[in-house]
Amino acid sequence: MPLFRILVIIFLTLPALSLSDSCPLNFDLVRSRPSSDSKTRCRYILQSLRILQSDYLHRTGSFPPSNASFSCWTALQNRTHQYDIRSSCNLPSSSFSLSCNNITNQSQFEDLLPLSAKQVRNTCNHSLNSLASCALCTKALSNLDSHLTHNTTDCKIIASIYAASFSNLQDPTTADCLFNFSFPSSVSTSKRRNILIAAFCVLAFFLLVFGVFWAYFRLKQKNKAICKTEMGLGSGLYSVNQTTTLIRFTFDEIKKATRNFAGDNIIGKGAYGNVYRGMLVDGTQVALKRFKNCSVAGDASFTHEVEVIASVRHVNLVGLRGYCTATTNLEVTDFAWSLVRNGRALDVIEDGMPELGPIEILEKYVLVAILCCHPQLHARPTMDQVVKMLETEESVSSLSCVAGRIDTEKSVQ
């Protein structure tokens, strides 16, 4: 018999322990943190309790049990980050469990004042965001308070909790209407964050547009400078860079200084080109070397080599004044001469020509044509000489002779 009593006591105390171990209130319903102001913080905590109690009544049909006060205080204390709620706000331990005529659930409260409770249910069971709906709900709540026989503070609070249980507890207007309190909202913070994000996006967009236009402008200027260099349109007074005093001349200035590369201005010949005597517009006498077989692709390396040479100073070396990297058009005579020099004189003749004749005669025609297109007038044959070469068996000047004369006196390409 004693054993049976002990077991009964143990099993009867288990539900009580489980109720006290965990708080039945849903604290996630109120997620905003209280402000740092002491008065506002205490008011916020107190009204948060009313909202949580209304939610519990809405979910279970009962008011929070008294044996859950300790666990609920502990849970609430953990959410306030070491802020002593009860001592700072002077809140009693019974704030979680109110006492009014021993009412513990919704049915008991409605049985106490059925008509007034029904009026509250009908007027408070919708959104209270408008002044009209809030006025109807609070009027019904005031009527309910006036009929309470025990018009204590707890009974009035229970009446407000009862009215709020029918409304949308996640709507801030419910607390504003029934408890006369506005919870700290994260709307202003979110709005401020959205404004900062929008401002950052606008600033990033303008920076991106500015960067694109700046890159386009720089690329355009670079391409313009490259094109100006390749076409030889730069000014003759343009210096290569700030570290050297070299002048980049235009091709027209070189032609004018050498009288279009006149033969009597040749003062030297070499494997890579001829050297001409010239005079600049300021009266300075210079020597100019014109290189053969140049290309635009080699301009960059040529410019670098020129700058290196210009940096060398020696008593036995003349000073380097400048350079020119102009690109000239390739003429038909240059193309024909390149074929003749490579032993492909007949490739000059177009395909499909009727009655080509003997190969020797055609090759003679090509050589005579090249001689007639010689860049220097004194080197070209007269019409009598042309007729004599074409009508007789007199041989044309040898290929080596033609090569020497063309390479020596090559004019504007």
Give residue-wise pLDDT tens across range 34-54: 555 566 777 777 777 888 888
Amino acid 313: pLDDT:
80
Nearest one of 130, 61, 129, 155 to 141, comparing CA atoms: 155
Residue with tokens 């036995």: 316
Neighbours of 143 (CB within 10 A): 15
- Domain coordinates in residue numbering, the chain: 21-184, 186-230, 247-323, 332-408
* Three-state secondary-structure class, residue 271: coil
Residue with tokens 């001409």: 276
| 289 annotated as belonging to a binding site for a ligand | yes
Amino acid 25: pLDDT:
82
Both structure tokens of 348 = 């000059």
What is the pLDDT of the chain when averaged over all its residues?
73
pLDDT in tens, 154-189: 777 778 888 888 777 777 777 778 776 665 554 455
CA–CA separation, 135 and 139 (whole Å)? 6
Q: Which long-range contacts (CB under 8 A, 24 or more apart) does 87-95 make?
A: 88/38, 88/41, 88/42, 89/41, 89/42, 89/45, 89/46, 90/42, 91/42, 91/45, 91/46, 93/69, 94/66, 94/69, 95/46, 95/49, 95/69
- CATH 3.30.200.20 matches 247-323: yes
Amino acid 257: pLDDT:
92
Residue type, 121: R
Region 320-330: mean pLDDT is: 75
Residue with tokens 């040898």: 398
> Could you give the residue ranges of the DSSP H alpha helices within 61-178?
69-79, 85-89, 106-112, 114-124, 131-146, 153-164, 172-178
Region 321-337: mean pLDDT is: 72
CA–CA separation, 394 and 250 (whole Å)? 44
Ranked by mean pLDDT, which of 113-117, 255-259, 366-370, 409-413 comes out on top?
255-259
- The reply to whether the predicted model has a pTM over 0.75 is no
- What's the first-to-final CA gap in the chain, in angstroms? 129
Both structure tokens of 376 = 């220097």
Share of the chain above pLDDT 90, in %: 4
Q: Is the dihedral of CA 18, 24, 27, 28 positive or negative?
A: positive
Q: Which CATH number fits domain 332-408: 3.20.20.70, 1.10.510.10, 3.30.450.20, 3.30.1490.20?
A: 1.10.510.10
Amino acid 227: pLDDT:
59
* Three-state secondary-structure class, residue 287: strand
pLDDT at 286 over 60: yes
